[in-house]
Chains A and B, each alone.
Chain A
Amino acid sequence: MLKKIFRNPQAVIGLVMILFITLIALLASVLAPHDPMAVNISMKFLSPSSEYPLGTDQLGRCVLSRIIYGTRYSLGIAIPILFFLAVIGTTLGTLGAWLGGWFDRRLTIICNIFMAFPPLVVVLALIGVLGQGILNLIVAIIFSMWVWFVKVIRSYVLIEKNKDYVVASEIVGCNSAQILLRHILPNLFPVMIVYFSTGVASIILMISGYSFLGLGFGTDIPEWGAMLNAGKQCLYSKPMLIVYPGLCILFTASAFNLFGEALRDILSPEEV
């Protein structure tokens, strides 16, 4: 498996990009030349120089430092969200598919109701009632997306459950917990990684979209979507303030998409 990943150029590119972003996020405090929050009105809209490699924004803050710190916000929010979604999705999806019966029927009805709401609508409505803020945004995104994760993992388990080896383990006398935890879930691990990896990409896009709409982050926080939101006021005079954060979002989302899709190609070569 690992060998196949290293032989697939697309997977390697994706992985290197992910590692690169992670390193920047971890080393942000070392790499950033300035304090990303330090306001200095007299220095606003500076052109790139050796002091400020990407210039300064409308409040005189160092654009490069803000972009570097932005990786922390994007990854630092997307990964916990993914973790919760993965836990909820795996637990409910597996239980539904494995137990069947009334539990599965009720789960399916609840899922159908939740799936009637496009995620954007759920998040907007929840932010509308919970109020703005990072924590509320995280809750709202989890609330809007859990059902999709449950559905997907449930369908994976349903397919896997009917395979011969499951019947064989039942005959040998394994109990449900053993079959699920030792056999089915480890076998599903690779396809789940594919789904989670492309999931991170869409979560990152979502977060930036919501903060662009002005939900979630204040303009002082160096998050890419919030930077775009602040930059749109000077769309004419300083288009670069919009270009840089957008490029970062594009780069990060492509990294996870490239890796996830390459992994999918490796797992099911007949579909390539």
Chain B
Amino acid sequence: MKYLKKIISLLAVLIGVSILSFMMANISTIEPAEAIARRAYSNPTQEQIAKIRLEKGLDRPIAVQYIDWFSSSLQGDLGTSYQTNQPVVGEMADKLKATLSLTGAALFWVVIFVVPLSILSATEKNRFWDHLIRGITVLGISIPSFWLGFLLLIAFAISLPIFKVVDYGNINSLILPSITLALPVICSSVRILRATLLKNMKQDYVIYAKSRGLSSSRIMWKHILKNSLPPVVTIFFQNIGMMIAGSAIVETVFSWPGLGSYFVSSIINRDLPVINGCVLVFALIFVLANTVGELTNRMLNPRMISGKELVTIA
């Protein structure tokens, strides 16, 4: 029953998302028919624009257009790109693959770095390693990611030519962009996990575990860490959505042929079907990732107080 309610509210949110994403792309100051006409003819006449409007069904009321778009998007059809005349879904599938491989690599860095760094920082509180890690993480959450990408390019592709400036399709090409995408996430997660670990280290169950004679590393890894994970898991899954959407900036720096740079170029070209499709896909991924995060947390800690949410801004 509880899950049914959850699914229904999720569906309601998704329908709201689709309406909003359709509306956003359609309250344009430039009429879509005119945008298409300008692409086809250098100086379109009113008749040409009217003809396109009729052809593409853009003369119908917006509600009808929305229902049409929504029902065909349910069948996996998001229309054709104004720019390339290719189906949006097909184009997006390739781009999504590139973005997912980038995000996957970035998540790999997040997973291997966050826990050890946070534990080191928490156990060495106010000593050298803690100060170093805290200092670096403040910088990490304050650094513009595109700038970091450029610095990495200048350092490791120009001064020391280990990597290529523009590269795609092999493991090497993933390294610099994924580090760029991962670093801010690692830094903010370490700060949160460190604070939660420290709070949990003062709990009674730690004293109890000590009195039972458990080693301190066992207490840390088996007990404290397990109890400190929920907020970080929430943030981790929130970040998956943020990273996929935020890839636009990193992809531009590294000329990565992903969904983010595709989205940016569709905006510059006012390619409405692509804008609609991208917004919808980004929102879907974001909602799904957050839901998976919530479910994972429930599995990790069934007694978690529901309604206790952690909110961060991007």
Contacts and interface: CB of A to CB of B under 8 A. Distances in A.
A118 B286 contact: yes
B146 A125 contact: no
Interface string B141-163: 11111110011011000100000
Interface in B18-41: 20-21, 24-30
A242 B141 CA distance: 19
A151 B311 contact: yes
Contact of B25 (A129, A228, A239, A254): A129
B161 to A, nearest CB: 12
Contacts of A113: 13, 16-17, 20
Interface stretch (B60-68, B102-110, B169-177, B240-248): B240-248
Contacts of B229: none
Interface stretch (B44-52, B81-89, B210-218, B275-283): B275-283
A199 B143 CA distance: 14
Interface stretch (A19-27, A165-173, A245-253): A245-253
Contact of A145 (B28, B270, B313): B313
A68 B25 CA distance: 37
A155 interface: yes
A215 B311 CA distance: 27
B282 to A, nearest CB: 5
A89 to B, nearest CB: 11
Interface string A131-145: 100000000000001
B142 A205 contact: yes
Interface in B222-271: 241-242, 245-246, 248-249, 252-253, 263-264, 266-268, 270
B287 interface: yes
Contacts of B279: 117, 121, 125
Contact of A254 (B9, B142, B263): B142
A71 interface: no
A201 B313 CA distance: 11
B145 to A, nearest CB: 7
A100 B242 CA distance: 30
B283 A116 contact: yes
Contacts of B191: 261
Contacts of A205: 142, 144
Given A125-B279, A128-B267, A155-B309, A112 B13 contact: yes
A254 B144 contact: no
A13 to B, nearest CB: 10
Contacts of B144: 205, 208-209, 212, 225, 228, 246, 249-250, 253
A106 to B, nearest CB: 12
B199 interface: yes
A77 interface: no
A205 B27 CA distance: 27
B207 interface: no
Contact of A209 (B29, B146, B268): B146
Interface in B86-104: none
A126 to B, nearest CB: 7
B12 interface: yes
A139 to B, nearest CB: 12
A109 B248 contact: no
A202 interface: yes
Max count, chain B CB within 10 A of own CB: residue among A116, A236, A271: A116
Given A109-B16, A129-B29, A213-B248, A239 B24 contact: no
B147 A228 contact: yes
A235 B150 CA distance: 8
A227 B248 CA distance: 19
A270 interface: yes
Contact of A272 (B29, B198, B283): B198
Contacts of B287: 116
Given A117-B286, A235-B154, A250 B143 contact: yes
B29 A116 contact: no
Contact of A131 (B29, B139, B165): B29
Contacts of A117: 17, 20-21, 279, 282-283, 286
Nearest to A212: B146
14 contacts: A112-B16, A113-B20, A116-B17, A116-B286, A117-B21, A118-B246, A118-B282, A125-B21, A126-B24, A129-B28, A155-B309, A225-B144, A232-B253, A235-B150
Closest 6 CB pairs of A and B: A246-B147, A118-B245, A253-B142, A128-B267, A113-B16, A254-B142
Given A212-B144, A236-B158, 20 more contacts: A112-B13, A113-B13, A120-B249, A121-B245, A121-B282, A124-B263, A128-B275, A129-B27, A129-B29, A148-B313, A155-B311, A202-B313, A212-B146, A212-B252, A249-B147, A250-B147, A253-B141, A253-B144, A257-B142, A258-B138
